[in-house]
């Protein structure tokens, strides 16, 4: 049957009007929100991102709406619907312009992406494209980092790796955002505490909580298929764990004094109530089994079988926190921590760690040995240190709940591209970096780190 042109036009208009109404109706019924919602799954023993990922289980989860439609498919579908509907029916843009960030090579350039470079995946002629990057609203985001000199002229952001070069790169345009990036402490890179130097940064990307783009060493917490976070995986049962302190490090005598502390513990010899098992290069007295040498699982697989693990930083600087503490917590051992004085404000629960040093729980190897033995000999006391893994998320620490968990869902690089997207909406010539954040500086002072540790401040240029 042939359809006349006027009839075809009427049909087309009717369909165009019906489809959006149907989409809005579905979105309303699903009560979707553009914001990400967190919830704790006691059964799965993990924290899940409910909007983006299904609840992992042994059996395939199914939506109550349709017994034949997996939750993951429903989740992805409704996520797409919610991203197209905002506020009072206003449509969000379906396409986000790509983000290009140029990497300043400087004079003594150290590659910030060493592994991709070694594998030839990132060169001057082959830019690095961050996979699976999305905006905060969940829209696909093309996020590219380039070493090419031409990128410095057109990029919206400049990645200035501070340890590589003392000379600040020159921006081609005032609209470009100069990111000062570092994943080490001021003990190794004093320019982090040089206000004259930091005043030239538009935005900060360091380990400090006051950074515009916080950096994390530990980005392996989420299974990208199931959405499960390793932080809340149930620990190895108490009776299976070794009554010992596991130690895996390669930097034996860093500025923090970690090496001397470990020497003191080992010097206790047969009198030690909790022996030290060292698998690393420092004071080594144990060797990894072949089954524990599988890529990516060696360290966490080993320490999960111990009651206690060493999580001592190589230097003590305010909010210099590396993967050591997060790996220990995720693995289900009790970390023995030495580092930033405000660590209890950053971890899931103040009672989840043993803090070594001034203001902490112990101040000597002998005291540490005695405390570990006391905790490790009392199952109820020991498990109280791990109770945070099954507590409601709302009861855990504010930083852990509101910053750490959401941010480690993606990479440092993707978060930098997200920052550019937000910057487009509300551009600022300079953002308040840490040394100019009075609230953060006051918190440092109260933690016992005064202004003497900083180069004299001046007004930002």
Tell me, yes or no, if the two domains 99-216+413-453 and 236-385 fold the same way: yes
Nearest to 339 by CA among 399, 427, 254: 254
Sign of CA dihedral 107, 113, 118, 122: negative
- Which residues, listed in sequence order, are joined to residue 247 by a DSSP beta bridge? 278
d(CA 394, CA 47): 12
Nearest to 75 by CA among 95, 101, 49: 49
Nearest to 46 by CA among 223, 237, 300: 223
32-38 own/partner pairs: CB under 8 Å, 24+ apart: 32/78, 32/79, 32/81, 32/82, 32/85, 33/82, 34/82, 34/83, 34/86, 34/137, 34/138, 36/406, 38/393, 38/401, 38/405, 38/406
Please name the residues in contact with 25: beta carbons below 8 A apart, sequence gap of 6 or more: none
Please name the residues in contact with 349: beta carbons below 8 A apart, sequence gap of 6 or more: 387, 388, 391, 396, 397
Neighbours of 84 (CB within 10 A): 17
Helix (H) or strand (E) holding 398, with range, is helix 398-399
- Say if pTM beats, i.e. exceeds, 0.85: no
Local structure of residue 112 (DSSP, 8 states):
S
Domain spans in the chain, listed from the N-terminal domain onward: 99-216+413-453, 236-385
Nearest to 182 by CA among 155, 163, 209: 163
d(CA 428, CA 211): 15
At the topology level of CATH, where does 236-385 sit?
Rossmann fold (3.40.50)
Neighbours of 308 (CB within 10 A): 30
Angle at Cα 350 formed by Cα 348 and Cα 351, nearest 5°? 105
Angle at Cα 270 formed by Cα 265 and Cα 273, nearest 5°? 65
Q: Is there a contact between 283 and 253 (Cβ–Cβ < 8 Å)?
A: no
d(CA 278, CA 440): 37
Phi, psi of 276, deg, nearest 5? -100, 130
- pLDDT by residue for the chain (461 residues), tens only, comes to 444 544 444 444 444 444 443 433 333 333 333 332 333 333 333 333 333 333 233 323 222 222 222 222 222 222 332 333 334 444 555 689 999 999 987 655 566 676 676 667 888 889 999 988 999 999 999 999 999 999 999 999 999 988 766 788 999 999 999 999 998 899 888 999 999 999 999 999 999 999 999 998 765 555 555 555 678 989 999 999 999 999 999 999 999 999 999 999 999 999 999 999 999 899 999 987 755 554 345 688 899 999 999 999 999 999 999 999 999 999 999 999 999 999 999 999 999 999 999 999 999 999 999 999 999 999 999 999 999 999 999 999 999 999 999 898 888 999 999 999 999 999 988 999 999 999 999 999 998 875 444 433 333 33
Token look-up 């980092």 returns 145
Q: What CATH code would you report for 99-216+413-453?
A: 3.40.50
Sign of CA dihedral 196, 200, 204, 206: negative
d(CA 319, CA 313): 11
């Amino acid at each position: 049957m042939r359809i006349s042109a006027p009839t075809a036009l009427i049909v087309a208009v009717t369909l165009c009007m019906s489809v959006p109404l149907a989409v809005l109706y579905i979105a309303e019924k699903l009560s979707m929100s553009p914001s990400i919602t967190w919830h704790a799954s006691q059964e799965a023993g993990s924290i899940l991102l409910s909007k983006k990922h299904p609840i992992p289980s042994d059996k395939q989860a199914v939506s109550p709406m349709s017994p034949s439609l997996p939750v993951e498919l429903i989740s992805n579908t409704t996520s797409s619907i919610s991203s197209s509907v905002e506020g009072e029916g206003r449509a969000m843009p379906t396409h986000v312009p790509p983000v290009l960030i140029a990497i300043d090579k400087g004079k003594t350039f150290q590659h910030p992406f060493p592994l991709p470079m070694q594998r030839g995946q990132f060169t001057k002629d082959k830019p690095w494209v961050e996979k699976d990057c999305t905006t905060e609203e969940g829209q696909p985001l093309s996020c590219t980092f380039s070493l090419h000199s031409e990128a410095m002229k057109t990029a919206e952001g400049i990645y200035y790796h501070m340890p590589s070069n003392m000379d600040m790169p020159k921006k081609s345009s005032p609209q470009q955002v100069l990111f000062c990036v570092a994943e080490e402490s001021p003990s190794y890179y004093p320019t982090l505490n040089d206000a004259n130097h930091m005043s030239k940064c538009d935005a900060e990307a360091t380990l400090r909580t006051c950074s515009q783009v916080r950096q994390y060493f530990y980005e392996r917490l989420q299974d990208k298929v199931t959405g499960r976070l390793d932080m809340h995986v149930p620990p190895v049962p108490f009776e299976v764990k070794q009554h010992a302190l596991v130690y895996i490090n390669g930097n034996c005598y860093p500025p923090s004094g970690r090496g001397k502390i470990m020497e003191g513990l080992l010097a206790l010899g047969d009198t030690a109530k909790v022996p030290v098992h060292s698998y690393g290069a420092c004071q080594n007295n144990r060797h990894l089994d072949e089954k524990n040498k599988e890529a990516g699982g060696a360290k966490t697989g080993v320490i999960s079988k111990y009651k206690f693990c060493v999580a001592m930083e190589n230097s003590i600087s305010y909010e210099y926190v590396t993967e050591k503490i997060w790996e220990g917590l995720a693995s289900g051992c009790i970390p023995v921590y030495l580092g930033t004085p405000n660590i209890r404000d950053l971890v899931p629960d103040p009672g989840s760690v043993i803090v070594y040093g001034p203001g902490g729980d112990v101040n000597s190897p002998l005291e540490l040995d005695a405390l570990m033995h006391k905790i490790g000999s009392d199952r109820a006391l020991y498990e109280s240190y791990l109770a945070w893994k099954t507590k409601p998320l709302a009861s855990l620490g504010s930083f852990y709940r509101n910053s750490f968990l959401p941010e480690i869902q993606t990479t440092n690089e993707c978060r930098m591209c997200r920052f550019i997207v937000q910057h487009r909406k509300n551009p600022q010539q300079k953002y308040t970096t840490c040394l100019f954040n009075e609230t953060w500086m006051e918190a440092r002072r109260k933690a016992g780190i005064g202004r003497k540790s900083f180069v004299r401040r001046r007004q930002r240029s």
